[in-house]
A = this chain, B = another copy of it.
Amino acid sequence: MLTPERHRKIIERLGEKQVVTIQELVEATSSSESTIRRDLSQLQKEKKLKRVHGGASLLHQKSEELSVVEKSARNSSEKEKIAHFAANIVNDGDCIYIDAGTTTHLMIPHLKDKEITVVTNGISHLDALIDHQITTYVVGGLVKPKTKALVGSGALNSLSSYRFDKCFMGINGIHLDAGFTTPDPEEAAVKRLAISLSQEVFILADYSKFNEASFSKVADLNEAVIITNELDEDAAYDFEDKTNIRVVTP
């Protein structure tokens, strides 16, 4: 892999997640730690990013408070942990559905050496999936420019001819009354169908999604296993009655 190609990939990941670990980049580019370190040093000199212990972070954050920045950085490293945990659930031979979205995207590097079949409606996932030599099927449908997700009747039709061992999706809200919710009705429809086609359903969500509700209902709380990482006592108490939560050990 050529230098500019690596650099582009690094910047790209940073754009998505605010932070990247060196380990992650080593896998993504299949080059050595030394090379990635050199890349990061150079990109830092070019003011493209800031090196931090263990990886790199975005440079000029929006003129927000530091705490907000810290939070988003923290969120994404937690997202990474969640994604990693989720990926470990996948076994050789599984056929899985990976929904469009940034959290689920983070699963892909961890699926590298598994013998699996993946179906997705996320266009942004495709390059990574192909890079990792994973057998990939794409759902058809209309491309939503903003999220690069495939939606609409085309997606639903196309999806309905598959069955999954497991499906993984991000979500915007998890609420005791409202269930799992997401802002976009069309994406919600795709999620609903994917859930109904899957034997096991996993929702990837960090703590910020709890007690939030959004416009379109995707499923009831008891329809999926939630993979999350942190939940304060009270919330845990409420949710554990109604849901099946699996907490990533920190």
Which chain A residues have a beta carbon within 8 Å of chain B's beta carbons? 2-5, 8, 18-19, 21, 52-55, 57, 61, 123, 126, 129-130, 133, 135-143, 145, 148, 150, 152, 154-155, 157-158, 161
Residues of the B chain whose Cβ atoms lie less than 8 Å from the Cβ of A138:
123, 138, 140-141, 143, 150, 154
Residues of the B chain whose Cβ atoms lie less than 8 Å from the Cβ of A158:
140, 154, 157-158
CB of B137 within 8 A of CB of A142, answer yes
CB of B137 within 8 A of CB of A137, answer no
Kindly report which residue of chain B lies nearest to residue A61, judged by CB atoms: B8
Number of copies: 2
CB of A2 within 8 A of CB of B52, answer yes
Residues of the B chain whose Cβ atoms lie less than 8 Å from the Cβ of A135:
142
CB of A143 within 8 A of CB of B126, answer yes
Q: How far is the CA of A148 from the CA of B129 in the complex (A)?
A: 11
CB of B145 within 8 A of CB of A137, answer no
Q: Select one of B55, B136, B143, B154 contacting A130, CB under 8 A.
A: B143
CB distance from A197 to the nearest CB of B (A): 14
Residues of the B chain whose Cβ atoms lie less than 8 Å from the Cβ of A145:
130, 133
CB of A130 within 8 A of CB of B150, answer no
Q: How far is the CA of A139 from the CA of B137 in the complex (A)?
A: 11
Of the candidates A4, A18, A135, A139, the one having the most CB atoms from chain B within 10 angstroms of its own CB is: A4
CB distance from A46 to the nearest CB of B (A): 13
Q: How far is the CA of A41 from the CA of B152 in the complex (A)?
A: 45
CB distance from A173 to the nearest CB of B (A): 27
CB of A140 within 8 A of CB of B140, answer yes
CB distance from A44 to the nearest CB of B (A): 14
